[in-house]
Every structure is written in C-alpha cells, then in structure tokens.
C-alpha cells in the first residue's frame, strides 16, 4: 500500500474478523432510474422526503417501490443515486424577461429544471410584482408542476448584495429549479409580470447504458460513510460485477443483488453464475408479491424486486442485534410481502444455497423470511454476510476512532491512547455478544507499541496498529437426533 497523503490507512489481513456495535444503522444506497430528482447521491430519511425529491410511485420505475419498502421494513437513512443518460439527457429551461428603463425587453434570468429529464417540461414559472424596499424592487417567483403550485419564492431581488438575492435563495433551497444568467442589478431594471411560462427542452436521452450505471455507482465517492448498496432490479452481470468491484475497492460497502425473473432454481443458479465470487455482495431469490401502495383493494399487489425490503430488514436487525446477527431467520419477516413469485422445492433450495444463492421462504405463521446468509464468496469465513458486514463496519469505525492521531506526536502516549480507544470499542461489542471468548483477552487483541512502530516507521510518519478478533459465525444447519428407547434397543433418527 502506498502512503502519499496524511490520513488513516486501514488494511485487511487474514486474521482480521471483527464486528462492532453502535446505535446507528448503516445507510442504504439505491442505484436506479427515476422520473426526476438529483443526479448526485442525495440523503433521504423518510418516504415523504424521497417523494419530495424524486416523485411519487410510478409503475414504470422500480426505485420508488424499493425505497418505500425499505422504510416500511425498518430502514432509517438512505442515499439515492439516480441513473440517467449522461451523454444525451437535458434539463428543460425558459428565459424570464424584464424591461430596461421602462422600454426595451431583455432576459433578466434563466430558469432551468433542477435535474435532467422530460419531467421538466411539465414545469411552469410565473412572476408577480413584489414590494419596493427603499429603491430596491422585488418580485415573486411561482413554480408549478403539472399545473400544481409546488414552490413560491417571495420578495426575491436581483441585487447581489441583498439577503433575498434570487440566485442565492433559489439555487440553495429549491427542489425543482435553478436560476442562471442573472442580469446585473441596476435601478433601471423592473421584472415584467410573467404568467405560466413553460419550460421546454427536457429530455431523458436515448437509453440507459451500463456506463450510466457505472457513473451512478462512482458517484458514491462523495458519501463518506459505510453503505449497503442495491442496484434496484438490475441483474446484468457487467453492472453487478462493477458494483462488487467498487465495494471491494472502497472496503466499506456491501451489495445486495436483486433476483432475475426465473422459473426454477437451476435458472437462478445460471443467472448468478456470471457474478464475481466476492464476499462484498449477496444475492436473494425470488422476486416477491408485495403491497403496491399506489393502488387499493385486493388487487394492490405487485411483483417486486426484494432488495429495498431486504435492506430495510438489514437495518432492523442491525439496530436490534448489531451487525453480528445474520439478517435472516424466522424472527424477522419481510413486511408488506404476501408471497413468492416463484416457489422453489426444498431440493432446489438446497442446490441454490450450495451455489451461494440465498432464498426467500414462505413460513406459515411467520410470513416471508430470508432463509440464507451467504455472500457470493465460497471460501474462508467471509462467505457469511454478517462476517463481511462486520469487517466493513469495524474498518470504518477504526478509521473514525484513529483519525485524531493524524499530526499528533508519534510516541508511546499516542500509542496508549489509540489502544484505549480501540479496546473500549471492541469490549463494548464483546459485551453485546458479538465476539467469541469468555473474556476480552480471548475476544480480541490490539498491538500498537514499539514492536510494530519502529524508529523507521516513526520517521516515515506512520503509526501501525494490529487488531485481531474472534468473530461469531451464524448457525446455518441445526442437526437434531431423536432416539427412541424400545425394548432395550435405541432407534436413532435425524430431524
């Protein structure tokens, strides 16, 4: 590993298997097309917050269903990275005119849709006169979407020195529009009243390509926290493998992969055979019959990719039991799920699980549950979802907990402080039951002293920390042997 800039560098070795505790859950990251909304990863903390940015449920888009079921299943924080045709999509726009010296008309400012797409062609803006404060005239800017008023910016000004300056107010706070090409203010300017001036020129582009998904994935570089990503209803091997490689490079991401539409377990295994055997992702089959909140009555059911609901269940399990608990089992049903789109036999489920395809299972009295906790990797301990997610979590936490050490004097006092901070962190997790061992000495060790911080490493500006832990692994198979004592003979059967 090359060390080129000051900072904290965390690497993973074979001995590092760790989990951690915390009251907050890891944020979800959704990557999908949307009718509108920001084109950079944007944080939403509720279904209502999502709707205000990206629009309500539309049957043609899978993203809103994924986000809806995420929050319904216990999700807390999510980032949405909108996929769009980067090369050809365009934002709708319109010019707003004004008069100079009460005579000639000129463009005073330009209004554009806040994001690209045909949705912007449904926007209109209108201008009405405002008050006059001293010599400064103001005006009101009203924004409508499909003839419904969605925003109103009152008493804005063209004066750059005003605290109601048009560019500052609108471009900072508007969800729907941006303004540009704002004319320099002078007392000669007045803004002409404009009634429902329509924006035009918005385009979705040609079609979404793999490179557009790659752009949306890379955009998560701006999010500096641990993430669980979901490519909503996207099963193309090239895109999935790109996401897995991205997660592995970052070291603090995990990818939940949605299922393709299949008729059998063999079809499912074939679909995932092209995926990289990475511990940074897990795949779940099949699709689910889930609530469609855009409809009412007995027909309000939709075949839906389960990734959003699964991410919500991840968050729920983590909040209650920490990341050391496998997000699976009878205790955690998938809310809003009413059935499986494809039913697999027990033989198929066994074959699928052997191929590291996690299955969803309908349990009478329990609902739909996750019946698997394996990553795509088939070797070493990171073949388990909670193990990999625990590793991701601890690496992220170690980076946070040791960030204070940058530019501190590199000596015994610093090393002792680091050991104390990390020991507290790991002891808290052990006490929550996430690490093996009868005591903390059996559960973990931390090495940060003169043995691994030599004079040479000190002179190179490096502090080296070695952490080893004993991580719990999930119980996948419960073997019960029943013995019946009859006439002095034991009859053994396995359940």
Q: 494 falls in which pLDDT band (50, 70, 90)?
A: very low
- Residue 62 sits in the same domain as residue 132: no
Of 367, 383, 399, the last residue of a domain is 383
Residues sharing a CB contact under 8 Å with residue 66, sequence separation 6 or more, in sequence order: 30, 32, 230, 232, 233, 305, 307, 308, 309
Enter the tokens of residue 151.
């925003």
Who's near 46: CB < 8 A, 6+ residues apart?
71
pLDDT digits (tens, 9 = 90+) for 345-387: 999 999 999 999 999 999 988 899 999 999 999 988 899 999 8
Domain CATH for 163: 2.60.40
Dihedral sign, Cα of residue 101, residue 136, residue 186, residue 182? negative
Q: 101 with 74, same domain?
A: no
Q: Cβ distance 83 to 31 under 8 Å? A: yes
161 and 275 fall within a common domain: no
The per-residue b/e assignment along 355-372, b for 16 or more CB within 10 angstroms, e otherwise, is: bbbbbbbbeeeebbbbbb
Same domain as 57, residue 137: no
Q: From 171, 198, 225, give the residue that closes a domain.
A: 198
> How many C-beta atoms lie closer than 10 Å to residue 447's C-beta?
14
- Render pLDDT for 6-32 as a digit per residue (tens, 0 to 9): 666 676 654 433 333 444 579 999 999
User: For the residues 452-469, what does the mean pLDDT come to?
Assistant: 91
Residues 6+ apart with CB under 8 A from 347: none
Taking the C-alpha atoms of residue 454 and residue 3, their distance in angstroms, rounded to an integer, is 17
In-domain check, residue 327: yes
**Are 130 and 268 within one domain?**
no
For residue 236, name the pLDDT band (cuts at 50, 70, 90): very high
106-119 pLDDT per residue, tens? 778 899 999 999 99
Quick check: 21 and 321 in contact, CB under 8 A?
A: no
Q: Which domain holds residue 48?
A: 27-85+207-383
d(CA 350, CA 354): 6
End-to-end CA distance of the chain: 50
Same domain for 68 and 41? yes
Residues 103 and 35 grouped into a single domain: no
Whichever domain contains 280, its CATH number is 3.40.50.11780
Do 286 and 334 fall within a single domain?
yes
Residues 454-479 have a mean pLDDT of 83
In a domain, 16, yes or no: no
pLDDT reported for residue 289: 97
Residues 284 and 371 both lie in one domain: yes
Q: Is residue 22 in a domain?
A: no
Q: Calculate mean pLDDT across residues 443-453.
A: 91
| 309 within domain boundaries | yes
Confidence class for position 328, pLDDT limits 50, 70, 90: very high
Q: Measuring CA to CA, how many Å separate 418 from each of 5, 233, 400, 414, 445?
A: 20, 43, 11, 6, 13
453 domain residue, yes or no: no
Kindly give the residue spans of alpha helices, DSSP state H, lying in 258-306. Answer: 265-272
Q: Residues with Cβ < 8 Å from 48, sequence gap 6 or more? A: none
Q: What 3-state DSSP class applies to 77?
A: coil
Phi, psi (rounded to 5 degrees) for 288 = -115, 155
436 assigned to some structural domain:
no
In total, how many domains does the chain have?
Answer: 2
In-domain check, residue 129: yes
* Whole-number average pLDDT of the chain: 88
Mean pLDDT value across residues 424-446: 86
Position 192 pLDDT exceeds 50: yes
What per-residue confidence (pLDDT) applies to 187?
Answer: 65
CA distances from 429 to 13, 350, 415 (A): 20, 33, 21
In-domain check, residue 214: yes
- Decide if pLDDT at 42 tops 90: yes
Is the distance from CB of 222 to CB of 40 less than 8 angstroms? yes
Identify the domain boundary among 162, 179, 198.
198
> Is 43 buried (19+), middle (13-18) or exposed (0-12) by CB count in 10 A?
middle
Q: Tell whether the torsion through CA atoms of 327, 329, 333 and 334 is positive or negative.
A: positive
Whether 133 and 37 map to the same domain: the answer is no
Nearest in space to 369 (alpha carbons), one of 319, 313, 320, 318: 313
- Does residue 282 share a domain with residue 141? no
Q: Is the pLDDT of residue 195 over 80?
A: no
Q: Which residues contact 301 (CB under 8 A, 6 or more apart)?
A: 289, 290, 291, 292, 338
Query: Are 316 and 350 in a shared domain?
Result: yes
pLDDT band at 59 (very low <50, low <70, confident <90, very high): very high
| Mean pLDDT within 309-324 | 94
* Contact between 82 and 115 (Cβ < 8 Å): yes
pLDDT (tens digit, 9 = 90+) per residue, 276-300? 999 999 999 999 999 999 998 878 9
């Amino acid at each position: 590993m090359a060390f080129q800039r000051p900072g904290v560098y965390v690497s993973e070795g074979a001995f590092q298997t760790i989990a951690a505790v915390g009251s907050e859950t890891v944020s979800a990251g959704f990557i999908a097309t949307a009718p509108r909304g920001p084109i950079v990863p944007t944080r939403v903390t509720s279904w209502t917050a999502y709707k205000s940015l990206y629009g309500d449920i539309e049957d043609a888009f899978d993203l809103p269903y994924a986000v809806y079921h995420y929050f319904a299943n216990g999700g807390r924080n999510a980032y949405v990275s909108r996929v769009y045709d980067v090369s050809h999509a365009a934002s709708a726009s319109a010019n707003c005119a004004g008069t100079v010296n009460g005579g000639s008309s000129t463009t005073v400012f330009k209004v554009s849709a806040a994001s690209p797409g045909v949705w912007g062609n449904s926007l209109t803006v209108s201008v009405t006169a405002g008050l006059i404060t001293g010599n400064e005239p103001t005006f009101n800017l009203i924004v409508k979407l499909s003839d419904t008023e969605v925003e109103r910016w009152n008493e804005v000004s063209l004066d750059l020195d005003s605290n109601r300056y048009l560019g500052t107010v609108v471009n900072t706070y508007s969800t729907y529009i941006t303004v540009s090409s704002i004319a320099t203010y002078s007392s000669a300017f007045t803004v002409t009243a404009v009634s429902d001036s329509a924006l035009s020129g918005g385009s979705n582009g040609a079609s979404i390509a793999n490179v557009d998904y790659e752009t949306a994935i890379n955009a998560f570089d701006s999010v500096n926290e641990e993430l669980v990503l979901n490519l909503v209803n996207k099963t193309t091997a090239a895109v999935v493998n790109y996401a897995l490689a991205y997660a592995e490079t970052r070291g603090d991401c995990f990818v939940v992969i949605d299922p393709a539409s299949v008729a059998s377990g063999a079809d499912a295994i074939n679909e995932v055979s092209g995926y990289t055997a990475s511990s940074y992702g897990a795949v779940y089959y099949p699709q689910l019959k889930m609530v469609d909140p855009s409809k009412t009555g007995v027909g309000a059911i939709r075949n839906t990719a389960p990734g959003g609901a699964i991410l919500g269940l991840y968050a729920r399990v983590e909040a209650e039991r920490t990341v050391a608990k496998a997000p699976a089992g009878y205790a955690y049903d998938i809310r809003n799920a009413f059935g499986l789109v494809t039913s697999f036999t027990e033989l198929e489920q066994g074959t699928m699980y052997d191929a590291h395809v996690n299955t969803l299972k309908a349990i009478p009295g329990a609902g739909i549950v996750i019946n698997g906790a394996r990553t795509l990797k088939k070797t070493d301990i990171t073949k388990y979802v909670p193990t990999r997610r625990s590793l991701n979590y601890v690496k992220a936490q170690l980076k946070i907990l040791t960030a204070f050490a940058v530019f501190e004097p590199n000596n015994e006092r610093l090393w002792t402080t680091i050991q104390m901070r990390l020991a507290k962190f790991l002891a808290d997790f052990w006490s929550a039951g996430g690490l093996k061992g009868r005591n903390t000495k059996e559960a973990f060790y931390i090495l940060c002293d003169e043995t691994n911080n030599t004079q040479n490493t000190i002179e190179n500006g490096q502090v080296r920390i070695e952490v080893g832990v004993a991580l719990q692994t999930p119980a996948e198979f419960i073997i019960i042997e029943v013995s019946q004592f009859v006439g002095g003979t034991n009859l053994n059967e396995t359940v």
